[in-house]
Structure 1
């Protein structure tokens, strides 16, 4: 595979062949080859995922030169090399993130305290509207706050994830979210972070 004029063990890859997390056949192939110790992992940081040229070593020491078409983006689980006896998969390094969870139960809880069950049938549905409005506004306002700081975000269920440099930033966000805090739980975690499609921002 490698060109003879480079070091003989350097492999050049120039396309993504599939993804072991998104493509069933590739997942199956990965499982089979993994069982026979034929898989190798290239770890990259998310910030590198948009670089179209880089040199990396796999976890088994294979040197790889990655050259992709402009505008490409490597994703967690991308397969960049597939041969009879070798599969090379890209993995993103886990990174620190803030996890913002919206506490729906507090809103529902407050509700049931002041409304008797028979009210549910008669004319207090506007409470629900207020509540839904509140719930809709929170993610939008959080998104806006985070967007202003040029952070990419990922939405999953009632959780919003975005990258942070250090745990100490969590307090900064609690201050920024101000009175919304009573509806939020903010915690830190370390995960493979992949931003929402089309919600990329250029981080500084």
Structure 2
């Protein structure tokens, strides 16, 4: 198991970017994909794309971010990649539907975002769980919904 105790910087920093670029040409840059939920954690254990077991224990003054360099030397690098978030998008047909949906989303402690008149709910588990919860709510079960990715959700 590889223990990481600090973020070395961003892959975009000129000093790191050149080194990572060279290592990419040799196929020796490994990626650790981190979910949006785990991005704020300071301690976690993950498996890299190449199968390396990685334990991360960061100090309080550091956070993970997309492009964070966890390890770099002459032979390899390990870089964080943020997982693309998926959102369940709702388009209420009336103010009453929107208020009811917002009420239930709050009671269920769902992480939400707003995009114009749409309510977006972050999918942090199987979508069937969300549908089951919604289908049990008579006023909300018929609101049109669509799954979108992070880029489309904005």
Normalised TM-score (structure 1): 0.49
Alignment equivalent of 1:178, drawn from 133, 139, 145 = 139
Contact 2:134 2:141 in 1 (8 A): no
Q: Give the alignment's Cα RMSD to 1 decimal.
A: 4.3
Q: Confirm or deny: 8 A CA contact 1:97 1:188 kept in the other structure.
A: yes
CA separation in 2, counterparts of 1:154 and 1:88? 31
Specify the alignment match of 2:4 in structure 1. 13
* Residue pair 1:101, 1:159 contacting (<8 A) in 2 also: yes
Larger strand proportion of the pair: 2
Check if 1:150 corresponds to 2:109.
yes
Equivalent residue for 1:160? 120
Cα offset, 1:67, TM superposition: 1.3
Structure 1 residue 38 and structure 2 residue 28: aligned? yes
**What pairs up with 1:26-105 in 2 under 5 angstroms?**
29=18, 33-70=23-60, 73-92=63-82, 97-101=87-91
Q: Which residue of 2 aligns with 1:110?
A: none
Scaled by the length of structure 2, the TM-score of the pair is: 0.60
1:178 counterpart SS class? coil
Between the aligned partners of 1:26 and 1:152, the Cα distance in structure 2 is: 37
User: Which structure would you say has the larger Rg?
Assistant: 1
Asked if the contact 1:57–1:64 (Cα under 8 Å) also holds between the matched residues in 2, the reply is yes
Asked whether the 8 Å contact 2:100–2:139 carries over to 1, the reply is: no
Q: Does the 8 A contact of 1:19 with 1:78 survive in 2?
A: yes
Judge conservation of contact 1:82–1:88 (CA < 8 Å) in 2: yes
- What 5-or-longer segments of structure 1 have no aligned partner? 1-9, 108-133, 194-204
Q: Select the structure that is richer in helix.
A: 1
SS in 1 for 2:128: coil
1:15 Cα deviation from its structure 2 partner: 2.2
Kindly indicate whether the alpha-carbon contact (under 8 Å) linking 1:50 and 1:72 is maintained by their aligned counterparts in 2. Answer: no
